[in-house]
Structure 1
Amino acid sequence: MKKGLATVAQLSEFDEFIDARSPAEFAEDRIPGAVSCPVLDNEQRAIVGTIYKQQSAFEARRIGAAMVAENIARHLRERFQDKPKNWRPLVYCWRGGQRSGSFVTWLRLIGWDACQLEGGYKSWRHLVVDELAVLPGRFDFRVICGATGSGKTRVLEALGRLGAQVLDLEQLAAHKGSVLGALPDRPQPTQKSFETDLYGVLRTFDPARPVYVEAESRKIGRIQVPEVLMARMRESHCVAIEATREARLDFLVRDYAYLGDDVSDLQNKIDYLQGLQSNETLANWKALAAQHELYTLFAEFIDKHYDPLYQRSQNRNFVRFPQAPIFASSNLSDAGIAELADCILREQQ
Structure 2
Amino acid sequence: MASIKSPLQMPSPLTTLQFEALLLSNRPMFDVRAPIEFDKGAFPNVVNLPLMLDHEREEVGTCYKKQGQDAALALGHQLVNGDTKDSRVKQWHAFSSAHPDAVLYCFRGGMRSKISQQWLADTGIVVPFVEGGYKALRTFLIERLDELVEELPAFVLSGRTGTGKTEILPQFDRTIDLEGIAKHRGSSFGKYIEEQPSQINFENNLAIALMQLNKEAKTPIVYEDESRLVGCRLLPISLQNKLKSSPIMVLHDNFEARVERIFGEYVVKAIAAWEQELVAPNEAFLAFGDSLIQSVFRIRKRLGSEAHKHLVKLLDQSLELQTKQGDLSAHKGWISYLLTHYYDPMYDYQLSLKQDRVVMQGTSSDLVTWYKTSQCNTLNTH
Q: Could you tell which deviates more after superposition, 31-40 or 252-261?
A: 252-261
Give 1:113 shift: 3.2
Of the three residues 269, 272, 276, the one matched with 2:295 is: 269
2:106–2:134 CA contact under 8 A, matched in 1: yes
Measure the CA separation in 2 of the matches of 1:102 and 1:317: 56
Q: Which structure is higher in helix share?
A: 2
Gaps of 5+ in 1: 329-336
What is the alpha-carbon distance in structure 1 between the residues aligned to residue 188 and residue 255 of structure 2?
20
TM-superposed CA distance for 1:290, in Å, is 2.2
- Tell me the equivalent position of 1:311: 348
Structure 2, unpaired ranges of 5+: 1-9, 272-284, 319-329, 376-382
Residue type of the alignment partner of 1:33: N
1:196 aligns with 2:231: no
- Size of the alignment, in residue pairs? 332
Q: CA deviation at 1:255?
A: 1.7
TM-score, normalization by structure 1: 0.85
- Following TM superposition, by how much is the alpha carbon of 1:82 offset from its aligned partner in structure 2, in angstroms? 7.8
Note if contact 2:156-2:225 (Cα within 8 Å) is conserved in structure 1: yes
* 1:174-323 aligned within 5 A: 174-184=183-193, 186-205=194-213, 206-257=216-267, 258=269, 261=285, 262-292=288-318, 293-316=330-353, 319-321=356-358
Q: Does 1:171 align with 2:180?
A: yes
1:27-176 matches, cutoff 5 A: 27-53=39-65, 57-69=69-81, 71-81=84-94, 83=96, 87-157=100-170, 159=171, 164-176=173-185
The whole-number CA distance in structure 1 between the counterparts of 2:293 and 2:94 is 53
Q: Given the two structures, how large is their TM-score scaled by the length of structure 2?
A: 0.78
Q: Is the Cα contact below 8 Å between 1:218 and 1:230 reproduced in 2? A: yes
Q: CA deviation at 1:304?
A: 1.1
What amino acid maps onto 2:168 in structure 1? V
The residue number in structure 2 matching 1:327 is 362
- Paired residue for 2:6? none
Distance in 2 of aligned mates of 1:112 and 1:251 = 54
Once superposed, what is the RMSD of the aligned Cα atoms?
2.7
**Aligned residue identity for 1:175:** H
Q: Is the 8 A contact 2:96 2:102 kept in 1?
A: no
Which residue number corresponds to residue 277 of structure 2?
none
Q: Secondary structure at the match of 2:302?
A: coil
Q: Within 1, Cα distance between the matches of 2:99 and 2:372?
A: 50
| CA distance in 1: counterparts of 2:146 and 2:51, whole angstroms | 33
Distance 2:98 2:152 in 1: 43
Higher mean alpha-carbon deviation, 123-132 vs 198-207, is at 198-207
Relative to structure 1, the CA distance from residue 85 to residue 314 in structure 2 (aligned partners, 3 Å threshold; closer, same or farther) is closer
Q: What is the rounded CA distance, in whole Å, between the counterparts of 1:279 and 1:111 in structure 2?
A: 70
Letter of the structure 2 residue corresponding to residue 128 of structure 1: L
